[in-house]
Amino acid sequence: MFSHLLDWASVPAHLQFNRFVLGGYRPLQSVAECVQSLFYLHNELFNILSHGLPILFFAHYATDSHTWDQISHSWLAYLNYAAALAPHLGSLSYHLFMNHKSGAGTYFRLLKLDMCGVWAVQTLGALTTIYATFYCNKLLQTLMLTTYILVSSWTLYEAVHATSVYKRMCSFAAQVAIRVLTLLVRVSPLGYGNPYSTKHTFLMDAFAITGGVINLLRVPERFWPGKFDYFFNSHNIMHVMTTIGVLHMHWGAVGDIMWASQYQCNV
Which residues contribute to the annotated binding site for Zn(2+)? Answer: 95, 235, 239
Q: State the Cα–Cα distance between residues 86 and 109, nearest whole angstrom.
A: 16
Q: State the Cα–Cα distance between residues 148 and 155, nearest whole angstrom.
A: 10
Helices 234-260 and 104-133: angle between axes, nearest 10 degrees: 30
Cis check for the bond before 54: say yes or no (omega within 30 of 0).
no
Report the binding-site residues.
95, 235, 239
Query: Residue 152 in contact with residue 189, Cβ under 8 Å?
Result: no
Query: Residue 58 in contact with residue 84, Cβ under 8 Å?
Result: yes
